[in-house]
């Protein structure tokens, strides 16, 4: 087996999916699988959960294409920009796109040779893409684009995972207002605004939950993790291997820049993972990994492909497995980022290994020998 891999447990993803769906059994459910399913591998995950979702959502055309090309038939919504040329392909592949600008919508409408399903994007306060609540007339103009078949309208929350609920309430209110003002024009089949946090913390689920990080067992914020309104199971772990163990004398240095100097005799292990695998260099001298159930401190700078840890009090040897993120929330906090970024950073060099019923059933490699056992 490989030195460094990302282990993904499909049963846990399904467990989380069932928990999330049980928030509202009548709501539709979109699995958000952008950025290669937050790094865990979109194609495999979509195939495993396709029967249990209503929609998949991605960020870009290429991601939607990858899913269609691998046989996914459920509706797919792209959440971000699609250029006119890709919109033609979306119409052919039955991929749905957002509309948030009349100029772009006009270009897309003109280039299309058949109808394309679209969702009107509404900016209720997130400030990214979408029409605002004072642009009702503009929104209604979308009606004039005969090749754009408006089936839905959606918005996105910006603070649903925070303590103060007032801004989420304001966003929801604006959303309801815009839908109310435009529903006779478009006869929406359904509308959607809830991300994970909106569904879990605010009980906003209609008509569809767009669930991303929680599906993979990570709470959208520390607050939601503490509140624990829902029980989620982390569905992945990043694992590496000890490649070398040595004794180090007092005064010896470890790694680039000599940022670590042993102040006593130590035992140091080298691990086969680095920032090129997506383990941030900012963890240098900071983070801890876990070996044989014990925490081991990173010593010196994280290199591109390797790093060193303190195993003075650990019975460590070459070939031992290393759990890279014993607490991924704490790791993210320690370098001022969020778990989303740590997950999506995990590089293509890291194979994804999938488990089901406690057994490995699939290995996906993006580079190297593809059919190795």
Ligand X SMILES: *Cc1c(COP(=O)(O)O)cnc(C)c1O
Cβ closest to ligand X, residue 155 vs residue 182: 155
Stretch that binds ligand X, among 130-138, 211-219, 229-237, 259-267 (CB under 6 A): 211-219
Shortest spacing between CB 220 and ligand X, in angstroms: 5
Tell me the closest approach of the beta carbon of residue 183 to ligand X, in angstroms: 21
| Residue 66, CA atoms < 13 Å, CB-side half-sphere | 21
- Give the H/E segment covering residue 352: strand 352-356
**Which CB sits closer to ligand X, 210 or 288?**
210
What is the separation of C-alpha 26 from the centre of its chain, rounded to a whole number of angstroms? Answer: 25
Cβ contacts of residue 245 below 8 Å, gap of 6+?
Answer: 267, 268, 269, 270, 311, 316, 317, 318
* Cis, peptide link before residue 207, omega less than 30° from 0: yes
Q: How far apart are CA 178 and CA 122, in angstroms?
A: 8
**187 Cβ contact list (under 8 Å, min separation 6):** none
Q: Per rule CB under 6 A, is residue 220 in the interface with ligand X?
A: yes
The window from 18-26, 209-217, 289-297, 299-307 that contacts ligand X (CB under 6 A) reads 209-217
Residue 76 — left, alpha, or beta (φ > 0 → left; ψ -120 to 50 → alpha)? beta
Among 36, 109, 152, 195, binds ligand X (CB under 6 A): 195
Nearest approach in angstroms of CB 197 to ligand X is 6
Least distance CB 344 / ligand X (angstroms): 10
Which residue, 16 or 240, has its beta carbon nearer to ligand X? 16
Residues 309-338 binding ligand X (CB under 6 A) are none
Shortest approach of ligand X to residue 339 CB, angstroms? Answer: 10
Which residues in the 18-37 window bind ligand X by CB under 6 A? 32, 34
Residue range at the interface with ligand X (CB under 6 A); choices 175-183, 207-215, 317-325, 342-350: 207-215
Q: Which is nearer to ligand X, 53 or 254 (CB)?
A: 53
Q: Which is nearer to ligand X, 208 or 311 (CB)?
A: 208
Position closest to ligand X via CB = 212
Q: Are 264 and 250 in contact (CB under 8 A)?
A: yes
Q: Per rule CB under 6 A, is residue 211 in the interface with ligand X?
A: yes
Residues whose CB falls within 8 Å of the CB of residue 231, separated by 6 or more in sequence, listed in order: 19
39 near ligand X (CB under 6 A): no
Q: Which ranges in the chain belong to alpha helices (H)? A: 10-21, 34-38, 42-49, 61-69, 84-93, 102-111, 136-141, 166-186, 196-202, 222-227, 328-334, 339-345
Which of 8, 82, 213, 316 is in the footprint of ligand X by CB under 6 A?
A: 213
Q: Are 231 and 19 in contact (CB under 8 A)?
A: yes
> Judging by beta carbons within 10 Å of its beta carbon (0-12, 13-18, 19+), is residue 114 exposed, middle or buried?
exposed
Contact pick of 41, 212, 274, 300 for ligand X (by CB under 6 A): 212
Q: At closest approach, how far in Å is the CB of 226 from ligand X?
A: 17
For the bound state, the minimum distance from the C-beta of residue 59 to ligand X, rounded and expressed in Å, comes to 7
Q: Is 124 in the site for ligand X (CB under 6 A)?
A: no
Number of residues binding to ligand X, judged by CB under 6 A: 11
Q: Which two tokens stand for residue 7?
A: 């282990």
The answer to whether 195 touches 340, Cβ cutoff 8 Å, is: no
From residue 73 to residue 92, what is the string marking binding to ligand X with x (rule CB under 6 A)? ------x-------------
- The encoded tokens of residue 343 equal 């997950």
Q: Does 156 bind ligand X (CB under 6 A)?
A: yes
Q: Is 221 in the site for ligand X (CB under 6 A)?
A: no
Q: Which residues are known to be catalytic? A: 34, 256
Alpha-helical (H) ranges within 70-133 are: 84-93, 102-111
Among 96, 123, 196, 320, binds ligand X (CB under 6 A): 196
Task: Provide, rounded to whole angstroms, the least separation between the CB of residue 231 and ligand X.
Answer: 17
Q: What is the largest CA-CA distance in the chain?
A: 77
172 binds ligand X (CB under 6 A): no
Task: By CB under 6 A, name the binding residues for ligand X.
Answer: 32, 34, 79, 156, 195-196, 210-213, 220
């Amino acid at each position: 087996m490989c030195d460094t891999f990302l282990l993904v447990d499909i049963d846990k993803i399904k467990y989380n999916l069932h928990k999330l769906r049980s928030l509202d059994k009548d709501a539709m459910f979109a699995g958000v699988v952008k950025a290669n399913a937050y790094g865990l591998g979109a194609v495999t995950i979509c195939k495993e959960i396709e029967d249990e979702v209503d929609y998949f959502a991605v960020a870009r055309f290429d991601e939607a294409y990858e899913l269609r090309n691998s046989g996914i038939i459920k509706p797919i919504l792209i959440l971000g920009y699609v250029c006119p040329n890709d919109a033609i392909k979306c119409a052919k592949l039955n991929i749905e796109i957002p509309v948030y600008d009349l100029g772009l919508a006009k270009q897309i409408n003109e280039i299309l040779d058949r109808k394309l399903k679209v969702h009107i994007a509404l900016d209720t306060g997130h400030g990214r893409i979408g029409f605002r609540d004072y642009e009702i007339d503009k929104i209604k103009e979308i009606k004039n684009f005969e090749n754009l078949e408006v089936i839905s309208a959606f918005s996105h929350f910006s603070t649903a995972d925070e303590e103060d609920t007032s801004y989420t309430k304001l966003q929801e209110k604006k959303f309801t207002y815009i839908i109310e003002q435009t529903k006779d024009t478009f006869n929406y089949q359904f509308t959607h605004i809830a991300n994970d946090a909106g569904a879990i913390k605010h009980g906003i689920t209609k008509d569809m939950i767009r669930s991303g990080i929680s599906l993979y067992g990570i709470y959208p914020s520390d607050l939601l993790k503490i509140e624990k309104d829902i029980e989620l199971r982390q569905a992945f772990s990043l694992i590496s291997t000890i490649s070398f163990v040595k004794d180090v004398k007092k005064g010896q240095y470890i790694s680039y820049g000599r940022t670590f100097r042993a102040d006593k005799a130590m035992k140091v292990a080298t691990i086969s993972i680095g920032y090129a695998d997506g383990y941030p260099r900012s963890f240098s001298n900071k983070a801890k990994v876990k070996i044989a159930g014990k925490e081991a401190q990173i010593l010196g700078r994280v290199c591109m492909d390797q790093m060193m840890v303190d195993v003075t009090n650990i019975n460590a040897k070459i070939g031992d497995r290393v759990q890279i993120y014993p607490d991924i929330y704490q790791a993210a906090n320690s370098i001022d980022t969020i778990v989303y970024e740590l997950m999506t950073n995990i590089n293509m060099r890291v194979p994804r290994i999938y488990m089901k019923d406690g057994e490995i059933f699939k290995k996906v490699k993006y580079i190297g020998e593809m059919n190795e056992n």
